[in-house]
Amino acid sequence: MDETLLMLPGPTNVAPRVLNAIAKNVVNHRSAIFGEIYTETTELMSKLFKTENNSYLITGSGTAAMEAAIANVTAKDDEILNVIGGKFGERLRDITKAHGGKVNELNIEWGTAVTAQQIKDALDENENIKAVSVVHNETSTGVATDIKAIGKVMDNYDALYIVDTVSSLGGDYVDVDKYKIDICFTGSQKCLAAPPGMAAITLSDDAWKVVDSVDSNTYYLDLKKYRKSGAGTPPETPYTPSVTLIYGIYEALKMIEEEGLDKRIVRHETAAKATREAAKALGLELFPQEEVSSTTVTAIKMPKGVSDSDLRGTMRNDYKVELAGGQDHLKGNIFRIGHMGNITYKQLAITFSSLAMTLKRLGFDVDLGAGVCAVNDTYM
Ligand SMILES: *Cc1c(COP(=O)(O)O)cnc(C)c1O
């Protein structure tokens, strides 16, 4: 068995308890017994989203939910405002295009966060904006956006508020009803610490009104079908779901309940702080503005003279710690440490101990104990 430690922004390390839960008999997905686990899982999802509305499970990765969110509310030439400050903002824009929407880009510098005022200005400038897509935690840059403040603005406009919480739900504060989010979605393999392959989505009444008015050009992701099947007796999904992965996500959600969401978020905040402090103690520079840095993933500038393949290759091959690289123009310029899901002091101590040895071996002048010491200081 590969014992590599995943310090990634997904997939994250899956607890043995969750792995055991998926090693169960596959049941008929059109049976009362499946209906029960489906209902319990979607109820736990709604609780995690902090919404009174129903949640739906989609077999597919987070991108399936991104596409469901956009495709179901976008008719040809509908104007959508896509906030773009990284890869995932771009992906929501590309999906909008793919479904015939008219894209309005709100581009912000990668490493910074969009402000509520910028969104207000964009909405005032174009009254035809039908929906706004925001990435809560831009995984590619390690930036967290103030989705609560944006929600206060969105409340004054008819445009739907679509928020990608794929790399934040279960690791940062998300309150769908309070923040007035109309469509919110997540994936299984990030902060939930379940295996990859499942996504979940929830919609407000306002969002459903729009869904009902749009003749969507998606088939597998047609949310009207998910709503109908979810309300059936027994409740079910329109097509065969990954029954096995639903066992996994259910168990992962139970674990979140047992830990307590608030405690879990504080654990993520502590891990994020320890990571930032340890990186700085090793003489590394953070990529994003520190005030908007993510609680679930930290992006760090690649030190001069060190290549991505040397740094991450050494970490992987010699220390069995998997870090993430940069994407697109950030490739080779940053690396990312995911600290989402089950990460605690233990994994960070190993990560920064290995990172210091790696940097030293690559000729970087570094105090071998400095990173771990900063981690310790944060946790003391
Ligand atoms: C990971 C991620 C997604 C979805 O990616 P998949 O690889 O399809 O699961 C979407 N948005 C954000 C912010 C993500 O981090």
**DSSP assignment letter at 172:** B
Spatial distance between the Cα atoms of 38 and 35, rounded to a whole number of angstroms: 5
Mean pLDDT (whole number) for 14-42: 97
10 burial via Cβ count (<10 Å: 0-12, 13-18, 19+): buried
Pocket test for ligand 1, best of 58, 61, 90 (most atoms within 8 A of CB): 61
Beta carbons within 10 angstroms of residue 128's beta carbon:
11
The atom of ligand 1 lying closest to the CA of 10 is: 1
Strands across the sheet containing 79-84:
55-59, 198-203, 183-187, 160-164, 129-135, 79-84, 102-107
What's the residue count for the chain?
Answer: 380
pLDDT per residue as tens digits for the range 191-200:
999 999 999 9
pLDDT at 1: 52
Mean pLDDT (whole number) for 153-177: 98
Sorting pLDDT into bands at 50, 70 and 90, what band is 242? very high
CA of 166 to the centre of ligand 1 (A): 6
Q: Is 252 helix (H, G, I), strand (E, B) or coil?
A: helix
Ordered by start, the domain boundaries in the chain are 5-9+261-379, 16-258
pLDDT at 108: 98
Judge whether residue 2 has pLDDT over 80: no
The pocket around ligand 1, CB under 6 angstroms, is made up of: 9-10, 61-63, 66, 88, 135, 137, 139, 164, 166-167, 187
Q: Please, how many CA atoms are within 13 Å of residue 63, restricted to the half-sphere of its CB?
A: 8
Spatial distance between the Cα atoms of 225 and 20, rounded to a whole number of angstroms: 31
Is the domain spanning 5-9+261-379 CATH 3.90.1150.10? The answer is yes
Q: What percent of the chain lies above the pLDDT cut of 70? A: 99
CA of 107 to the centre of ligand 1 (A): 19
pLDDT at 180: 98
pTM: 0.98
The answer to whether domain 5-9+261-379 and domain 16-258 are alike in fold is no
The atom of ligand 1 lying closest to the CA of 187 is: 9
Considering the domain 16-258, what is its CATH architecture? 3-Layer(aba) Sandwich (3.40)
Please report the beta strands in 63-125, taking only residues with DSSP state E, as ranges in sequence order.
79-84, 102-107
Pocket test for ligand 1, best of 162, 163, 167 (most atoms within 8 A of CB): 167
Beta carbons within 10 angstroms of residue 133's beta carbon:
28
